Structure 1
Amino acid sequence: MTKKILGITHALTDQIIPVSDEELSSIDLTCGGWKPFSICTNKKGLEELLKKESVKKYLGGAPTNVIRGLNNLGYDCNLIGNIGEDELGKNYINVLEKESINPLFHIYSGEKSGECYVFITPNKKRSFYSNASIADNFKDLDTYLSKNENFDLVFTSGYEFSSNPSKFIDFIQLLKQKGTKIAFDIANGNIAKKNLPEFKEMIKLSNILFISDEESEIAFGGLQDWMFKDKICAYKKGTKGSEIYQNKNKAIIPCYKADKLVNDNGAGDSYAAGFLHAYLENRDIELCGILASLIAKKVCQQEESWYKNNLS
């Protein structure tokens, strides 16, 4: 029987914009950095960059990338999100439905759908401004589902969780009572640091935790034993590979270098998709990490931010 997966996402449309280092600096972003659009000090300059002919649009949101990857790997995939009643929102729904992903969306009349402005510098790194708009309007999460719906696994990230931590925790506890496995990606150390008690609670509720070395250092002062007690922890170290922990077990995973690097947008999301695929197939933690790293490599070799192929 096909396993049923749920994602909870910021339904953002990514606008991918190639820029020079000087152009990135002009809009007050550092390479690899992220800021909310509301604090951008040069919105006029950003708007000029958006006029480039080379700008391309794709569905964004880390859980969306993960769900699209898992969908292509053969799972029954469903996605919770919020959109406005506009062209971006309509396109978001249309793309998901064409891929046979079930959109469990709330649509808000008179509101704008969220966008993410992703800037790719010559070193192929991404930096971005996020303009969430209605996308982070998570109130009562159980209203997105019918009462009898059950899922094998749910995935979300710190970006979504931070929009309404108490509601997320209530919803996750409800899913756990039904036997759903919980996969959570910290995603941003600064956001986790600002909401530390809630993030700690969410980590404790999770069955699988994805966290990078940078995120763990910013939010928690480094990786700690409690983060992988009674759960799996995928500790990502960029080009140094990753380490997978499960209680007293540890697997060291290499980073597989892209044959031809296009950009690193979505690499972490595709790492999660590959990892969760192996996990759902009952593979050991080493194989989970190896498949995660291989799929992340494949995504770095393409423009799009999700894993487009199956494994056949």
Structure 2
Amino acid sequence: MSQYDVLCIGNAIVDIIAQCDEGFLETNGIIKAAMNLIDAQRAELLYSRMGPALEASGGSAGNTAAGVASFGGRAAYFGKVSKDHLGDIYTHDIRAQGVAFDTRPLDGEPPTARSMIFVTPDGERSMNTYLGACVELGPEDVEPSKVEGAAVTYFEGYLWDPPRAKEAIRQAAAIAHAAGREVSMTLSDSFCVDRYREEFLELMRSGTVDIVFANSHEIKSLYQTTSFDEALAAIRKDCRLAAVTRSEKGSVIVRGDETVAIEATAIRELVDTTGAGDLYAAGFLHGYTQGLDLKTCGNLGSLAAGLVIQQVGPRPRQNLRQEAMKAGLL
């Protein structure tokens, strides 16, 4: 019996989300639909120019942890914040959502990370992230008892940007596998894949990672092909289990010779795609750690993603367990 269903490891980032038009992106030199890494000076500049905003604990893996907890799962999280105002916001917010978060905060510089997310009328999000204290996450922040006690340890590809986090991930993966647990990752975004393609492939091919989450752009970037089918055939060989999302086309899950196609959840209106992939992973992993079949796992992921894209922000306002029960999935 595991102590936790899913342990998530990621960049502990306070999301600051505001809506804007296409002209704002152009005027401020923001690359649309990407995660742009910025320095403290640019973070202050963009913050001064953004309109009314929503502030909440975020970061890709943090969103997944909150999603697992909303489904009624037992979630834990590793991530580095500072002892400052945004660090307090992050800690209170993620704990209030039922996630075990005990990583020791940094005492001093750099400050807690923040991501200014600009959402255009088409629902696409353009992220501008100052990593701050995130870069200080290291092997000393890995709590072995939590790793050993989690059915699946899940981490975000974005962690390959801060160098010491790589050591922490490899250490956690070794602990997890020694305890008979599984390790999962998300490729995060196609720009991240471009930066670390060979390392990501090595993680999969070496068995360091058992389960991979990606979207269609990321998987095509990983295998440097324009063909989705070619990329899917390749990841089937490289990874034990992969779940690939395709926006309105739903998702495809592959495991060995098995292929499971999942339909997208019908939505009323696309508002903000922030957190869609994170919540898909939350639904899938919740089902997976409860021993449900792959189709149900995919449907839980699709449900969570479909709910979150109909609102501003990466955390569904609905109780995901109740929504899943209404849909007959739990």
Relative to the length of structure 2, the TM-score reads: 0.86
Q: CA deviation at 1:159?
A: 0.3
Q: CA deviation at 1:39?
A: 10
The verdict on how the C-alpha distance between 1:217 and 1:143 changes in structure 2, with shifts beyond 3 A counting, is closer
Instruction: Indicate yes or no: 2:218 matched with 1:212.
Output: no
The verdict on how the C-alpha distance between 1:2 and 1:71 changes in structure 2, with shifts beyond 3 A counting, is farther
The verdict on how the C-alpha distance between 1:104 and 1:220 changes in structure 2, with shifts beyond 3 A counting, is farther
Instruction: Indicate yes or no: 2:227 matched with 1:227.
Output: no
Aligned to 1:140: 139
Give aligned-pair identity as a percent.
23
Matched to 1:134, the amino acid is: A
Matched to 2:235, the amino acid is: M
Instruction: Indicate yes or no: 2:150 matched with 1:151.
Output: yes
Q: Provide the C-alpha distance between the structure 2 equivalents of 1:214 and 1:147, rounded to a whole number of angstroms.
A: 33
Given the alignment, which residue of 236, 244, 254 partners 2:263? Answer: 254
Aligned to 1:184: 185
Q: Provide the C-alpha distance between the structure 1 equivalents of 2:118 and 2:191, rounded to a whole number of angstroms.
A: 20
Superposed, which structure 2 residues align to 1:1-312 within 5 Å?
4=4, 5-38=6-39, 46-50=46-50, 52=51, 54-111=52-109, 112-141=111-140, 143-146=142-145, 149-164=148-163, 165-203=166-204, 204-222=207-225, 223=231, 225=233, 227-229=235-237, 231-308=240-317, 309-312=319-322
Q: Provide the C-alpha distance between the structure 2 equivalents of 1:206 and 1:274, rounded to a whole number of angstroms.
A: 19
- Cα displacement string for residues 214-256 of structure 1 (whole angstroms, at most 9, x for unaligned residues): 1122232242545234621111222222111010011122222
The verdict on how the C-alpha distance between 1:143 and 1:310 changes in structure 2, with shifts beyond 3 A counting, is closer
SS in 2 for 1:135: helix
What is the alpha-carbon root mean square deviation over aligned residues? 2.3
Q: CA deviation at 1:304?
A: 3.0
The verdict on how the C-alpha distance between 1:6 and 1:260 changes in structure 2, with shifts beyond 3 A counting, is same
Q: CA deviation at 1:97?
A: 2.6
Q: Provide the C-alpha distance between the structure 2 equivalents of 1:73 and 1:168, rounded to a whole number of angstroms.
A: 25
Q: Provide the C-alpha distance between the structure 2 equivalents of 1:291 and 1:254, rounded to a whole number of angstroms.
A: 11
Matched to 1:220, the amino acid is: Y
Matched to 1:288, the amino acid is: C
**Paired residues of 1:193 and 1:220 also in contact (CA < 8 A):** no
Relative to the length of structure 1, the TM-score reads: 0.90
**Paired residues of 2:121 and 2:271 also in contact (CA < 8 A):** no
SS in 1 for 2:315: coil
Q: CA deviation at 1:143?
A: 4.3
The verdict on how the C-alpha distance between 1:181 and 1:29 changes in structure 2, with shifts beyond 3 A counting, is same
The verdict on how the C-alpha distance between 1:148 and 1:267 changes in structure 2, with shifts beyond 3 A counting, is closer
Q: Provide the C-alpha distance between the structure 1 equivalents of 2:262 and 2:191, rounded to a whole number of angstroms.
A: 26
The verdict on how the C-alpha distance between 1:149 and 1:213 changes in structure 2, with shifts beyond 3 A counting, is closer
Q: CA deviation at 1:34?
A: 2.2
The verdict on how the C-alpha distance between 1:192 and 1:83 changes in structure 2, with shifts beyond 3 A counting, is same
Number of aligned positions between the proteins: 309
Q: Provide the C-alpha distance between the structure 1 equivalents of 2:99 and 2:44, rounded to a whole number of angstroms.
A: 36
Q: Provide the C-alpha distance between the structure 2 equivalents of 1:30 and 1:257, rounded to a whole number of angstroms.
A: 29
The verdict on how the C-alpha distance between 1:138 and 1:201 changes in structure 2, with shifts beyond 3 A counting, is farther
**Greater Cα shift, 6-15 or 272-281:** 272-281
